[in-house]
């Protein structure tokens, strides 16, 4: 309904759960949803008590089918100029697909369709856990569009190049088991086991020192295009924080004392 939030945001312990909430239209993303998501990501990053995020779609039919094309047609008919990559200057900027400095891990829980911008959202997450019925695709070329929220760039980095190009240029769909075989997703399970599998990944993340997780995410991501000697010589922001943190002392100490570590993210 019009008055309902487009995004549900719930915090539980150290975990934030973000749900795209338009199940009646397969969680298609309109401008209002993007605006709500921007506020969520701002809070997610700023809240020191939150260490992990889980992003999913309401209902069991879709993670998200991407851009609300009905709204897009109305916007174009009202004179909105053509656009290309990114969302700068649009509601909700920077969107998850452009939050290149987001430090905390985000797990995509994918059930049903992840198409277009929905697939691009999943690609921008750090881990993807999918139901065996999940379907991925970037069908923009079939509509005279382009995967402008980073799908062109990320898919070509996360799949073998010719495999990625084939899916990008044709809009062919990618089944969950094939995505797993290609290394695009981390786990595929029956839909009935999806939540349990997601929670296993979340629990594993929470067992680790949050600053170490953030340092690993930053260093691995930022160094992808660096020569190896440059990567070794680079001083990464979150690694500097981890290196001088209490958690860096707590981990080895808890091991020696044979007790669970008490992480403080400080």
Active site residues: 120, 140
Helix (H/G/I), strand (E/B), else coil: 63: strand
- CA 179 to chain CA centroid, nearest Å: 16
Strands 15-20 and 7-12: antiparallel
Token pair in block for residue 26? 């397969």
- CA 162 to chain CA centroid, nearest Å: 23
Burial of 41 (0-12, 13-18, 19+ CB in 10 A): buried
Q: Report the distance separating Cα 83 and Cα 145, nearest Å.
A: 10
Token pair in block for residue 224? 């992808």
- With CA atoms as reference, report the closest residue to 262 among 200, 215, 210, 217: 210
Q: Report the distance separating Cα 49 and Cα 263, nearest Å.
A: 11
Q: How far from 246 is each of 155, 168, 238, 261, 266, CA to CA, in Å? A: 37, 45, 14, 11, 6
Q: Where are the beta strands (DSSP E) in the chain?
A: 7-12, 15-20, 52-57, 62-64, 106-110, 113-115, 127-131, 135-137, 174-175, 187-189
């Amino acid at each position: 309904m019009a008055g309902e939030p487009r995004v549900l945001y719930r915090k539980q312990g150290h975990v934030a759960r973000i749900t795209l909430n338009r199940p009646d239209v397969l969680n298609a993303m309109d401008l209002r949803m993007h605006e709500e998501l921007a506020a969520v990501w701002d809070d997610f990053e700023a809240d020191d008590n939150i260490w992990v995020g889980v992003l999913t779609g309401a209902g069991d039919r879709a993670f998200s089918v991407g851009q609300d094309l009905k709204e897009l047609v109305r916007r174009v008919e009202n004179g909105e100029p053509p656009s290309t990559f990114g969302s700068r200057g649009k509601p909700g900027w920077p969107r998850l697909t452009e939050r290149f400095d987001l430090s905390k891990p985000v797990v995509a829980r994918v059930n049903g369709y992840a198409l277009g911008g929905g697939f691009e959202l999943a690609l921008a997450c750090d881990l993807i856990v999918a139901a065996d019925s999940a379907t991925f695709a970037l069908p923009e070329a079939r509509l005279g569009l382009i995967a402008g929220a980073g799908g062109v760039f990320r898919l070509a980095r996360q799949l073998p190049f010719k495999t990625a190009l084939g899916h990008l240029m044709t809009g062919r769909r990618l089944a969950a088991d094939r995505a797993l075989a290609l290394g695009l997703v981390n786990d595929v399970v029956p839909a009935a086991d999806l939540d349990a599998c997601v929670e296993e990944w979340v629990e594993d993340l929470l067992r680790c020192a949050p600053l170490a997780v953030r340092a690993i995410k930053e260093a691995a991501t930022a160094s992808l295009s660096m020569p190896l000697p440059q990567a070794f010589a680079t001083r990464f922001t979150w690694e500097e924080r981890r290196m001088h943190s209490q958690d860096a002392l707590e981990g080895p100490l808890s091991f020696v004392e044979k007790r669970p570590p008490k992480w403080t993210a400080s």
